[in-house]
Structure 1
Amino acid sequence: MNRNNKVMLSIASFLLPVIGFAQEATTEAAEKGIDEKIDDAFGWATGDYVNAVFYQIPFTDEIKIYWVLFPLILGALFFTIYFKFINFTGIWRAIKVVQGKYEDIEKHGAEMLYGEDGIANGVDINKVDNLEEHIDEVSDEITIDGDIKDTIRDESSDGEVTHFQALTAALSATVGLGNIAGVAIAVSVGGAGATFWMIVAGFLGMASKFVECTLGVKYRDVGPDGTIYGGPMYYLTKGLKSMGLASLGKVLAVLFAIMCIGGSFGGGNMFQANQAAQMVENITGGTESFMYGYRWVFGLLMAIFVGIVIIGGIKSIAKVTDKIVPFMVVTYVGAAIWVIIARYDMIGDAFMQIIDGAFSPEGVAGGAIGVLVQGFRRAAFSNEAGVGSASIAHSAVRTKYPASEGLVALLEPFIDTVVVCTMTAVVLIITGNVNPENAGLADADAILLTSDAFASVISWFPYVLTLAVVLFAFSTMISWSYYGYQAWAYLFGRTSRTEYTYKILFCIFVVVGSAASLGNVIGFSDAMIFSMMVPNMIGIVLLAPKVKKEMSKYIEAIKLKRQAID
């Protein structure tokens, strides 16, 4: 069976049960609308898998913990200690990398420019009058003439995007509705204390993100035309093979790729479309809205815009995200700061609630363990640290030192969880939206809770938030389409047919997500995201020594530059 036939078989095996159930639903409940039919079919098709992923290990009658949290938390703790708390010590250097302070050595290599013992490219740099002119001359000597179609990189070095573009492309897939709806769900179920554990999870996740994104660059493939193929599929296969674990690497890579495709359809697509449709429907009248019962129409329009962007690949995606993401984050955080300043007298009390609730929660199901679980679960869904998805975008960066991009990547959980999620939680707390009445809040209402919290201080902000939600959803979908396609291509090959099959399916799921209920969508979304984490975490723990060597190499390159300049 050739690859194209495998593609069609995989599509048929996934869609036939859904189609069959939809036909049965039509016979049994003809009065149901199309939205309800889609929801019923989707819930029926994914329910058993979701239950398996989120099986809770019962430690006592009251304490039950999701098994998937153990590899996530333990792995992040291991990386934090193994890399000597790089999630704290590496922040300032990461900022310098994003600013381009080391762009010359990342582009051409420290030895090429500054050399060992002061000799670079046959020239004693100690005798060079103008070091910058020397660097320009060396750069000119190794520059490739002409431009490669469909890349946005400097063709003189491996990679397609800049550090900033790689960061924003990955951030666009993480900073999004998980920060708005996800935080509201966490604090509604887990109370104010869940915020503390989200922050802890964010800091720990920085170490995991550093490791996986360093590996993404180290083991990426570069095609003949300069196009980059990277991510867990490649570092699990190539990295573990280099350690004599080829069979394990292949199995883990295939499992990850399958889960990544599911994650791109779930958390990276349907969840985003669903929440965007929910916000637009609510702001236009709720049950009186022209969209009520016809959210699939909104999904169809969103699918068209998503399709236009994703056809262009990482080049068009990065060009969109490096403009949308900074605007969205600044707007959202700015509004949060506005609300916090307006209620400045409640800030102290809010943080007391967060600390008290983290260790001595009252009236919250599951006690302190329940609060911790909610915080970690929502943080993981929001920043995706340990999941491996972001390394697919980061692998396309231009650098000769993989650890440089690992440092850039550790900023993601900090921005996404420590900053943005905390802002959302504090707004919810100081506006009085975290209380026992909201503990049983339906998932579908979570995003509206955040909207109401902002509206209590900025009456017109729900309109701005609706726009932000649509943009958040849009940017997340286009980035996840890239992740999903890379996994799809790894399994089925890189042909025009397989590419457009995936992208058309992706756009179809935008429509499905808009129409389905949040309960079914969010369960499937969480399940896919956490499933990706298992094979990825096994691999990156085994490959941690490789990352330590890459970090040492990059530090030595920076020292070489400093010595030459000094």
Structure 2
Amino acid sequence: MIFSFQISEQNFDERINETFSEATSWFVDAILAQIPITDTVGIPWVLVILLIGAGYFTIYFKFINLRSFHTAIQVVRGKYDSLESVEGENEKNSLVKGEVSHFQALTTAVSATVGLGNIAGVAIALSIGGPGATLWMILIGVLGMSSKFVECTLGVTYREVDAEGKVFGGPMYYLSKGLGEKGYEKFGKFLAVLFSIMCIGGSFGGGNMFQINQAYKLFEHVVLPQHASLQGQGWVFGLIMAILVGVVIIGGIKKIASVTDKIVPFMVLTYIIAVLVVLVLNSSAIPDAFMAIWEGAFHSEGIVGGFVGVLIQGLRRGAFSNEAGIGSSSIAHSAVKTRFPASEGLVALLEPFIDTVVVCTMTALVLIITGQINTGVEINYEQGVLLTSSALESGISWFPYLLTIAVLLFAFSSMISWSYYGYQAWSYLFGRGKRTEYVYKLIFCCFTVIGAAATLDAVTDFSDAMVFAMMVPNMIGLFLLSPKVLQELKKYKRSITNMLK
């Protein structure tokens, strides 16, 4: 790509906007470049890597996503908490490092992934790929459970804990330290820096501006028609949210976890109840909906093109919804109180199940049985949210207000979790002092105000591409360090076996 910097009659602002748009377009095209399957159908190369990686880890760890599902639930319930006590110490967890419980780490990570992708993203997938895309979303959710296990086990294995007990972890640390152990120190540090840069950009954009912008769009559509004088005042909405976000994130991961462990169960339960009501009211249509999903998953229209198109839309939205393989969730899970890294890896594999298998599937069923999907018509996120809103309204007239509350909570929880992800990457690059911490958090809150007020097509495309670009250094680390994860898994399984004797 060639950028033109010649002086012309255009003013400086126009030139900057033009240059940024060109740079954004180039970056997005590079990250989401399509591998051609047919003349009309292509698959993003990042999706190929995520899918291959998830499949590889599923086989390498002998279908841990299925075999260890029950164990993961038991870990969250606290059945194996006695393993965390240190022999010779009277006080439980006296030498166990970490800041939050297994449940709090899970809800913090879930709060970042359960959001608009589960509401608008599903509508987008079904509008392009039809009902059959749902089956492939479920598949990528199940496979993604294995990727989540690997990255979150590594996050705990290579985390650092300062003198005050504050945890610093995530791909930045297992890339630099883990690959350093294998003799790739310089390469590991390069990947860690690359990941950190992308993570910071993703936290400002996809984890902040995009969330607040789309939440305001639904709020404006559902609530503000009755208050015309308040329309177009997105900056006020953004300022209020920025203050609320700021109050929470100043307290660090402990404060964030104390909020998410209350918000996440409430918001997910609220959304699921609304969806279940619609499903119950239309229960007679559910068998036909499942039949449409099954038949549509192997749709043969256009021979290869139709089937591949349905498959790609399902896999793409599923992968981008649960973020398995991206590495972001390992930052939250790194803060857990445990002596066994694999214990948190098992907890983490529940995340794609909740996010994709449960929430996305229920959204898809509601959209299908209420007839909101017009297959073959590509839509954006704003239209996707409104389609889901209309689907819920077909059940009970005031359900769109309930969806608005859920979306606001989804956005708020995603923002506070992504602020933690971004700060961890920021501290890796610029140090851990209070000044650098407050500088990052102030910038984050400023972007919240901007996000609610602005039209963000170019910015959100650029930010989303940065989130997806996090996958490149992360997946390299996961492949090279998977033997270390297997070692940690065997260690934890032996401890469970000995405890049960």
Task: Give the structure 1 partner of residue 125 of structure 2.
Answer: 186
- Give the length in aligned residue pairs: 492
Work out the CA distance in 2 between the residues paired with 1:300 and 1:41.
Answer: 29
Work out the CA distance in 1 between the residues paired with 2:302 and 2:285.
Answer: 22
Work out the CA distance in 2 between the residues paired with 1:368 and 1:518.
Answer: 33
Cα displacement (A) at 1:444: 2.4
* Aligned with residue 537 of structure 1, among 455, 475, 484: 475
Task: Give the structure 1 partner of residue 5 of structure 2.
Answer: none
TM-score, with length taken from structure 1? 0.83
Alpha-carbon displacement from aligned partner over 1:310-360 (angstroms, at most 9, x marks no partner):
111101100000000000111111111111111111111111111111111
Structure 1 unaligned regions, length at least 5? 1-20, 29-36, 113-120, 122-137, 144-153
Task: Give the structure 1 partner of residue 311 of structure 2.
Answer: 372
Work out the CA distance in 2 between the residues paired with 1:370 and 1:22.
Answer: 43
- Per the alignment, in what secondary structure is the counterpart of residue 339 of structure 2? coil
Work out the CA distance in 2 between the residues paired with 1:253 and 1:102.
Answer: 33
* Aligned with residue 356 of structure 2, among 379, 400, 417: 417
Cα displacement (A) at 1:518: 5.5
* Aligned with residue 292 of structure 2, among 315, 334, 353: 353
Task: Give the structure 2 partner of residue 457 of structure 1.
Answer: 395
Task: Give the structure 2 partner of residue 328 of structure 1.
Answer: 267
What one-letter code is carried by the residue in structure 1 that aligns with 2:449? V
Alpha-carbon displacement from aligned partner over 1:397-451 (angstroms, at most 9, x marks no partner):
0111100000000000000000000000110000001223x72324321111110
Work out the CA distance in 2 between the residues paired with 1:191 and 1:524.
Answer: 27
Matched, 1:292 2:231: yes
Task: Give the structure 1 partner of residue 49 of structure 2.
Answer: 71
Matched, 1:24 2:2: no
Structure 1 segment 192-211 matched on structure 2, within 5 A: 192-211=131-150
Alpha-carbon displacement from aligned partner over 1:350-376 (angstroms, at most 9, x marks no partner):
111111111115599952212222212
Task: Give the structure 1 partner of residue 4 of structure 2.
Answer: none
* Aligned with residue 182 of structure 2, among 238, 243, 250: 243
Cα displacement (A) at 1:43: 5.0
Task: Give the structure 1 partner of residue 432 of structure 2.
Answer: 494
Q: Structure 1 residues 67 and 463 mapped into 2: Cα distance closer, same or farther (>3 Å)?
A: same
Q: Any conservation in 1 of the 2:41–2:309 contact (CA below 8 Å)?
A: yes
Q: Any conservation in 2 of the 1:193–1:361 contact (CA below 8 Å)?
A: no
Residue range with higher mean Cα deviation, 50-59 or 323-332: 50-59
* Aligned with residue 50 of structure 1, among 2, 24, 28: 28
Task: Give the structure 2 partner of residue 139 of structure 1.
Answer: 90
Residue range with higher mean Cα deviation, 367-376 or 208-217: 367-376
Work out the CA distance in 2 between the residues paired with 1:169 and 1:212.
Answer: 16
What percent identity do the matched residue pairs reach? 61
Matched, 1:509 2:487: no
Q: Any conservation in 1 of the 2:124–2:378 contact (CA below 8 Å)?
A: no
- Per the alignment, in what secondary structure is the counterpart of residue 90 of structure 2? helix
* Aligned with residue 476 of structure 1, among 402, 414, 434: 414
Q: Structure 1 residues 338 and 555 mapped into 2: Cα distance closer, same or farther (>3 Å)?
A: same
Question: Greater Rg, structure 1 or structure 2?
Answer: 1
What one-letter code is carried by the residue in structure 1 that aligns with 2:314? G
Task: Give the structure 1 partner of residue 3 of structure 2.
Answer: none
TM-score, with length taken from structure 2? 0.94
The RMSD of aligned alpha carbons is: 2.2
What one-letter code is carried by the residue in structure 1 that aligns with 2:49? P
- Per the alignment, in what secondary structure is the counterpart of residue 470 of structure 2? helix
Task: Give the structure 2 partner of residue 13 of structure 1.
Answer: none
* Aligned with residue 554 of structure 1, among 469, 482, 492: 492
What one-letter code is carried by the residue in structure 2 that aligns with 1:75? G
Q: Any conservation in 2 of the 1:284–1:290 contact (CA below 8 Å)?
A: no
Task: Give the structure 2 partner of residue 16 of structure 1.
Answer: none
Work out the CA distance in 2 between the residues paired with 1:463 and 1:228.
Answer: 39
Task: Give the structure 1 partner of residue 66 of structure 2.
Answer: 88
Residue range with higher mean Cα deviation, 294-303 or 85-94: 294-303
What one-letter code is carried by the residue in structure 1 that aligns with 2:33? Y
Work out the CA distance in 2 between the residues paired with 1:509 and 1:537.
Answer: 29
Alpha-carbon displacement from aligned partner over 1:193-224 (angstroms, at most 9, x marks no partner):
11111100000000000000000001110111
Work out the CA distance in 2 between the residues paired with 1:502 and 1:362.
Answer: 50
Q: Any conservation in 1 of the 2:152–2:344 contact (CA below 8 Å)?
A: yes
Work out the CA distance in 1 between the residues paired with 2:190 and 2:354.
Answer: 33
Cα displacement (A) at 1:45: 5.8
Work out the CA distance in 1 between the residues paired with 2:337 and 2:237.
Answer: 37
Cα displacement (A) at 1:261: 0.6
Work out the CA distance in 1 between the residues paired with 2:497 and 2:329.
Answer: 28
Work out the CA distance in 1 between the residues paired with 2:249 and 2:447.
Answer: 14
Cα displacement (A) at 1:286: 5.1
Work out the CA distance in 1 between the residues paired with 2:324 and 2:454.
Answer: 27
Cα displacement (A) at 1:520: 3.2
Task: Give the structure 2 partner of residue 117 of structure 1.
Answer: none
Matched, 1:316 2:255: yes
- Per the alignment, in what secondary structure is the counterpart of residue 65 of structure 1? strand
What one-letter code is carried by the residue in structure 2 that aligns with 1:529? V
Matched, 1:467 2:405: yes
Q: Any conservation in 2 of the 1:190–1:439 contact (CA below 8 Å)?
A: no
Task: Give the structure 2 partner of residue 281 of structure 1.
Answer: 220
Structure 1 segment 111-190 matched on structure 2, within 5 A: 112=87, 121=88, 138-140=89-91, 156-190=95-129
- Per the alignment, in what secondary structure is the counterpart of residue 68 of structure 1? helix
Alpha-carbon displacement from aligned partner over 1:172-205 (angstroms, at most 9, x marks no partner):
1011111111111111122111111110000000
Cα displacement (A) at 1:507: 1.0
Work out the CA distance in 1 between the residues paired with 2:137 and 2:113.
Answer: 14
